[in-house]
Amino acid sequence: MTGNVWTRWPSREALGRAGTTPARRVLVRAVRLLVLALLLWGAFSQRHVGVGGAVAAVAGVGLAALVSWAYFRTTYAHRLLPSLALMGVLLGIGAAAEATGFRGPALVIWCGCGIGALERLPLGAAVPVASVALASYAASTNDVWLSTAATVAGMALAGYVLRLDAEARGSAQRLLAQERAARVAEAESAALAERARIAREIHDVLAHSLSAQLVHLEAARLLIENDADRARILERVVAARGMAREGLAETRQALSALRGELTPLEDFLTGLVSSAAGAEVTVTGERRPLPAEASQAVRRVAQEALTNVRKHAQGAEVAVRLDYSEHEVTLNVRDSGGRPGELGAAGGGYGLRGMRERAELLGGSLEAGPDEEGFVVTLKVPV
């Protein structure tokens, strides 16, 4: 809460009923019914008034109840002048009751005004109003002065304690609302992150596969237009069909990854290099399961690195090394250099940029570049 302590209202969460327990609501209703019963009993217990006076007293009790309800509404809306006007009406009803001989109802009304002012008004207005109400009570009661002083102090303390309790409840309500909003934002952020992950998987699988198929089909079209022999056309079509099968297999693998059904990383790398002549896999360190994002990053980088070898270094020997350390996993793909392949001019697809973005999203790094013999791709991912 902000503002000066003397001019600051209790929050609307504090003045409202939201967040109150069922037991507390029952207690509040019981107290209100008790106050109403005391007022009615005080109205009918006076023997010096006739039937007309009793009816007027009941009407006064009803008016006091209506004004109290309106006071609760205006204080909830933080409307100071109407709240003070209604409090003045209540004090006037108490004074009228005292003047007509209804001392009991007058004392109850003044006590309620003192407590209600301290509980619901800014302190700068509550203190004067409560002082007037409790002073009226003290002047009208027949108790000894020490008992009266103790009663007045107790009621003032009760009103302030109720105020503190209401403000604590309001603070709890605001914190709960903020926590709920934070949870909603966290859920939305998680959903967006998952959508981004699915989009990356779809892109990684389909981009380079479809681009390779497109190269083969375009070559087949040019051969047909140039009346090339059937064998060369068939070779391109068969290659495109193979790329389609590989893309379908990779799509199924990506779906399995999204479902959390990944095959062991070592088995995946072994299967990946099994179709490449002169390729071998070496695994060092203590093998252990990796988080899904880290495992998928290693798979995609290895896949793209071997695809680049086929594109740009056909016939090269390839060494794939996977190293498990205490805080990270390192993938190293090194080729010995070779001649450009048929797909060397194909689009980059996922490419080095995509590999680097994937690594950085996980807090890792990717380095790629030529060495003495060929080309090296090194991925480091924290785990």
Query: Could you say which of 122, 142, 162 is where a domain stops?
Result: 142
Q: Which two tokens stand for residue 121?
A: 């008004």
Backbone angles phi, psi at 275, to 5 degrees: -85, -5
Domain annotation covers residue 103: yes
Residue ranges in 275-342 assigned as alpha helix (H): 292-312
Distance of CA 112 to the CA centre of its chain: 42
pLDDT by residue (tens digit) across 257-282? Answer: 666 656 778 888 887 777 665 678 88
Residue 219 tokens, joined = 């070559």
Which of 103, 126, 142 lies at the terminal end of a domain, its last residue?
Answer: 142
Q: Which residue has the higher pLDDT, 252 or 48?
A: 252
Residue ending a domain, among 142, 167, 185, is: 142
What's the pLDDT at 13?
79
Any idea what the CATH number is for the domain that residue 319 is in?
Answer: 3.30.565.10
Q: Alpha carbon of 318 to those of 167, 180, 269, 333, 369: distances in Å?
A: 70, 53, 12, 7, 15
Answer yes or no: is 232 within a domain: no
**Parallel, antiparallel, or unpaired for β 375-382 and 318-324?**
unpaired
Contacts of 43 (CB under 8 A, 6+ apart): 54, 57, 58, 60, 61, 102, 105
Element (H, E) at 335: strand 328-335
Closest CA to 336 of 279, 287, 256, 255: 279
d(CA 127, CA 35): 23
Q: Is residue 132 part of a domain?
A: yes
Residue 184 makes CB contacts below 8 A (sequence gap 6+) with: none
Res 347: pLDDT: 45
> Which residue range is the domain that position 20 belongs to?
12-142
Query: Considering the domain boundaries, does residue 297 fall inside one?
Result: yes
Q: What is the pLDDT of residues 22-37, one digit of tens each?
A: 776 677 677 767 766 7
**Within 10 A of 29 (CB to CB), how many other CB atoms are there?**
10
Q: What is the number of domains present in the chain?
A: 2
Q: Is 177 within a domain?
A: no
DSSP label at residue 6: T
Classify residue 60: in a domain, yes or no: yes
Residue 7 within a domain:
no
For residues 116 and 71, is the Cβ–Cβ distance under 8 A? Answer: yes
Give the CA distances from residue 188 to residues 154, 177, 183, 293, 339, in Å, rounded to whole numbers and listed in that order: 51, 17, 9, 19, 48
Q: What percent of the chain has pLDDT over 70?
A: 79
Give the range with max mean pLDDT: 42-56, 58-72, 194-208, 339-353.
58-72
**Residue recorded with tokens 């205006």:** 74
Chain centroid to CA 105: how far? 52
Cβ atoms of residues 334 and 376 within 8 Å = yes
pLDDT tens digits, one per residue of 122-151: 988 999 999 998 898 888 887 778 888 888
Classify residue 349 as left (phi > 0), alpha (psi -120 to 50) or beta. Answer: left
Residue 366: CB atoms within 10 A of its CB come to 22
pTM more than 0.75: no
Q: Report if residue 353 sits inside a domain.
A: yes
